[in-house]
Amino acid sequence: MAASAGKRQTSWKNSAKALANLPVKSKKSTLADTRLYGRRKGRPLSTARHEALTELMPALGIPEKKLTEDGALAPGSLFDSPAPTILEIGFGNGEHVKGLMEQSPGTNFLACEPFENGMSAFLKSIHHTPLRNVRVLMDDALKLCLSLTSECLDGIYILNPDPWPKARHHKRRIVSQENLTTFARILKPGGFLTMTTDVDDLAEWMVTQASMHHAFRWTADKADDWKTMPEGWIQTRYEQKGIKAGRKQTYLLFEKKR
Ligand SMILES: C[S@@+](CC[C@H](N)C(=O)[O-])C[C@H]1O[C@@H](n2cnc3c(N)ncnc32)[C@H](O)[C@@H]1O
């Protein structure tokens, strides 16, 4: 197993090296370019989820009018006071970001999930708790990323992003050179970019994309690092179900170069 892990990591590193010589598309993203491919609505909401959504969104939702694309939105202005800030993109039902909020009450969290059923599940989970160190966006995370000030984030999580397995849909994948440039702009030097997936092809894609991007450094130093759950890791139900079904979760830990 360790030998095949080593071989796989070496092949990723080799393809990253080869790809590093390709020209990187430098077109600047704009809000008009952002297009959401996933679904926004599913089954009708339960009363409890509906109540959580209607009661918490006015206080915790990031107002649409703040989502300009001029990189002027300081995250501290969304909270009572500035603090280290971490973004989670596509949080599903929000188990991971909720766990982080409990672990780090002194950190501000930005959390994006366009699917109403996921957002309402997360807000229901914190509704009758004191946890309020989060601001949420029920829309495309890229809208928020393009609006934030430069070097304002301490870290970004992208956990199990939609895999878009068909080759003609690969351009829909959230981890792309263009989006990595956006993530690099808003991360502080040394800020982390943590990505996970249980889809082999997507793992290879994400590690290649991030390795070939000049702003990021893969922090793995042993062949097995990518399959080792980081210490204190908070699993989502999606991750737990995948592991139970025999799928291997890959943990890709990158940081913005200093
Ligand atoms: C496979 S689910 C994973 C959910 C969660 N991260 C987990 O690991 O349990 C992918 C999530 O990404 C969300 N998503 C897709 N495109 C997005 C975008 N542009 N911005 C924010 N979230 C997005 C989807 O709505 C979906 O909930």
Pick the atom of ligand 1 nearest to 37's CA. Answer: 16
Ligand 1 pocket check for 236: Cβ under 6 Å: yes
36-49 pLDDT, tens digit per residue, is 888 898 889 999 99
The class (CATH top level) of 43-256 is alpha beta
Ligand 1 midpoint to CA 2 (Å): 31
Domain range annotation of the chain: 43-256
Model pTM? Answer: 0.90
Q: Are strands 250-256 and 187-197 parallel, antiparallel or unpaired?
A: antiparallel
Give the percent of the chain with pLDDT over 90: 81
- In angstroms, rounded to a whole number, what is the distance separating the alpha carbons of residues 256 and 258? 6
Ligand 1 pocket check for 155: Cβ under 6 Å: no
**Band of pLDDT at residue 28, cut at 50, 70 and 90:** low
Q: Whose CA is nearest to atom 11 of ligand 1?
A: 90
Residue 179, number of CB atoms within 10 A of its CB: 21
Closest by CA position to 236, among listed 116, 91, 43: 91
64-117 pLDDT, tens digit per residue, is 999 998 999 999 999 999 999 999 999 999 999 999 999 999 999 999 999 999
Strands (E), 18-99: 85-89
